[in-house]
Structure 1
Amino acid sequence: MLDFLRRTFTRPLVALWLAGSRHSWKRRLLPRDSPHVLAPGTNPERVLIVGDGAASGRGVVTHDLGLPGFLARSLSARTDRATEVDILVDDAMTADECTEALASQDLRRYDIVLVSCGANEALALQSPREWQLAIRTLLTTARLKTSRDAKIFVLAAPQFGVNPHFPRALANAVDFHGGVLNTITERMTEEHQGVVYVPESRDQIFEEAGAVRYQAWAELIADRIVRNLDPHRPQAPSMADEYEQARQRAFEHLESLGTANDAIVDRLTDKARDRFGAKIAAVTFLHADTEHVRAVSGLEVDAVYPRSDAICDVAIRRRGPLVIEDARRDHRYTGFSVVAGELGIRFYAGFPIESPDGFRVGALCVMDDRSRRFSGSDAIALRDLAAEIQRHLYSREGVGVG
C-alpha cells in the first residue's frame, strides 16, 4: 500500500519537472543523422541498438559521437573486426514499444542486439508486476527472432540522482524504483539462454551528456560484450553488402547514361559554390573502391581518388546532409587527405545524389579552408541543388527524380 501511494504521488511531480524545468534532459538535443554507424575493417560484427534513454544520444549532434559510434569503435578495437551498428532508438520508447520495434525487424542479420530500456518506466514508477510482464515479453520476442548464435545484452535502467538539477527527493524515489525494476530485469535475463544483463554504469548520465561520457560508457559495455562472445560462432548475413552491390549497379547504370563533361552539371556546381561562398564545390560519384569527380568548381583536380579517402563516402551513408563545421577539431575526419594535406579543408557540407530507385550514388559537396556555420536554410538550399542535379542526370532516360 505504501509503495502504491508513493508511486501515485511521485509520478505527477516527476512528469511536471521533466516538462517544465530548463534543466530537464528532455530538452537536450538529439542526433538526427543516419541511424547507422560503421567502424571499418573486415568480417564485421553486426549490432542493433534498440530502446530509449542515453542510447538515443542526448547532448550530441551525431550518433558517431554517441553510444553507437563509440561502441562500434570500442568493439572493433577489441575484436580486430569491423563493426556495423544499426540504431532503433527513441527518447520516449518503453519496453512494450521496444518489443513492437523488434517484432518488425529481421533480427537474424545481427550478431548482437543491445537493449536499452527501463528509463521511462522508472520515471513513470511503473508497477513491478507490469514491468516484469513487459520485460519478459521483450526478451522472449528478441530471443525468438534472433539466430541461435546471436547474443542479446540488456542494459540496466540508469540512476537519475547523478543529475545535480533533478530534485533530490524525486531522484531518490525514482532511483529506488529503478533498482527494483533492475532486479526484475536481471532475474528475467537468467531465464533466457544467450541473454546477458549489463549493470548500470555511473557514466550513464542524463545531464551534461557528451562524447567523453559516451566513450567511457561504450568502453564498459564493449568489455562486457567481448567477454560473452564466442569468436568461432557463425556470422550473420550482411544486409549492408547487399545494399552496396545494388548501389554499385545503380552507379554503373548512371555511367551508361553518360555523365562526363556535362555543361549543366558544371553550371549547377558553380552555382553551389557561389551560393555558399565556398572555396570549392564538387559533384562526385562513388564506385566500389574509387571516387569519381564529375564536376568541380574552384580547383583543378584528378578525376579519380581512392574511395577510402573520400569524405563523400561518409556523406552517402545517410539520407540527409553531412555537415562538418571544423574538420580539424573532429577526430573522425582529421585523417582524410583533403583535411590533413595541402588543401587544408576545415568545412564540408554534402548532400547525397540518389538513383530513381533510392540508391545513393554520389554527392554534391561544398568545402572551405576555414571553419563555418551551416544553418537549416543552408541545408535546404544544398538539398535543392543536389535534387536539381539528380533530376537532370536521370532526365536522359525520362525518369523524374526529386
Structure 2
Amino acid sequence: MVQHVQTSLAARPGTARAWVVAAAAGAAIVAAGAFTTVPGLLISPLHHEYAWDRGQIALAASVNMIFFGLTAPFAAALMERAGIRRVAAGAMLLVAVGALLTSVMAAPWHLVAYWGVLIGLGSGCLTMTFAAMITGRWFVRRRGLVTGVLSASSHLGQLLFLPLLAWSVDRFGWRPPVVTLALVALAVSALVALFLRDHPADVGAPPYGGEHVVAKPAPARGAARRTVTVLLDATRTGTFWLLAGMFVICGASTNGIMWSNWVPAAHDHGMHATAAASMLSLIGVFSALGAAASGWLTDRFDPRHLLAWCFTVRAITLAALPMVLSSTVQPSLVAVVVVYGLVDVATVPPVIALAQRRYGDDGPIVFGWANSAHQLGAGGGPSAFLGATARDLAGTYDAVWAVLCAACLIAALTALAVRAGRSDRG
C-alpha cells in the first residue's frame, strides 16, 4: 500500500516538473562549464598574438577560479532572497557580457577583468551549490542521483563544446569560439527564465517523491549576513575544516591544473592541441559517468569511504601522467584519462551529502564555502597560475604532478577522519 502511494505521488503531473527544473538547471551548469576549459585553449594563441607571458594569461584563469569560488556561498543566500530563477538567469547574462568584452580586449588586465572577474562572478552562481539547492528543494527521492548528474553537467559542457572549440581556434582563431559561447550563454539565460522555478510550491506540487506540498519559505533577508554567520558557525566545527581542506586539494588537482594547463602540458610532449583537447573532452565524458555513479553510490554507502577511494585513485593517475604523455595518443594515456575522469567530479556528491547531513538547512551554504576552498585551491595552489609559472621556469610540469599526487593521498586520509554527526562542535 505504501509503495502504491509513493508510486502514485511520483507519477503525479506536478511532480514531473522537478525533472524539467533539473534539466533547466543542468543546461545552465553545462553552459557555465563550457567556459572553464577555454583559458587552456587561449594560452598559446594569446601568447603568439600579443606576446603575453603564459603566466599573465593563466592569471586570468586563477582570478576566474577565485571569484568563482568566493561567489558560490553568497549566491546561495542571494537565491534564497531574490529567487533561484532570477539569479541564475542574471548570472548567464553576466557570463555572456564577459565573453563578448573578451573578444575586443587589448591588454592582459582586460582578460583578467572580463574573463577573470565578470565570468568568474557569473559562473560562480552556477556551481554545485546551485545544484545542491535544486536537489534540496525539488527532490526527496533520487536526490543523490540527481546531485551526481548535475555535478556531471559542468563537464558535459566540456564534452559538448571543447573539441569544437579547439578545432575552431585552430581554423578561425580564438575570437569566434568566444563569441559563440557568449551567444550560447544568452540562449541559456532565456531558457532558465522560461522553465526554472524557485520551489515546488510555485507549481502547487510536492517535491519529487514527497507526500505533501511543502510551503515555500519566505524570502530570506540579510543574505550576505546569513552567509557570513553560517560560515562563522561552521568554522567552529572540525567537519568544516576537513571538508574545506579536502576541497582545496581537490581543486588544485582538477580544475586548477587540468582545465588551464592540460593542453599546454600535452603540447610540451609534442601532442597537437586538437588531440590534447580530445583527451580533455574524454575526461569530461567519464567525469559525467563517474559523478552520476558517485551520486548513486552516495545514496547507498558511507560518503567518507567513497571520498577516500576517489582521492587515492586520483593520486595514482597523476603519478602516471608523466610516463604516458607523448606526441601521439597511446592506449596507456587513454586508460589513465578514463580512470582520472571517473573520479574527477565523483568527490562532489559525497561532500554535498556530508554537508547536508551535518548542517541541515545550512548545508548548501556550508557546501558553498567548501566549494570556495575548492576554487581557491584551483586558482591559488600549484595549479593554474603556479603550474604555468613552473612550466615557464623549469620547462616541465613533472614537479607539479608529483606534488599534487602527494596532496591527494593526504586528502584520502583526511576523508576517513570526517564526522557526519553533530557532535564535533567545539
TM over 0.5: no
- Interval containing the TM-score (normalised by the shorter chain): under 0.3
Greater strand proportion: 1
Structure whose alpha-carbon radius of gyration is higher: 1
Q: TM-score, normalised by structure 2?
A: 0.23
- Which one scores higher on RCO, CA 8 angstroms, separation ≥ 6? 2
TM normalised by structure 1 equals 0.24
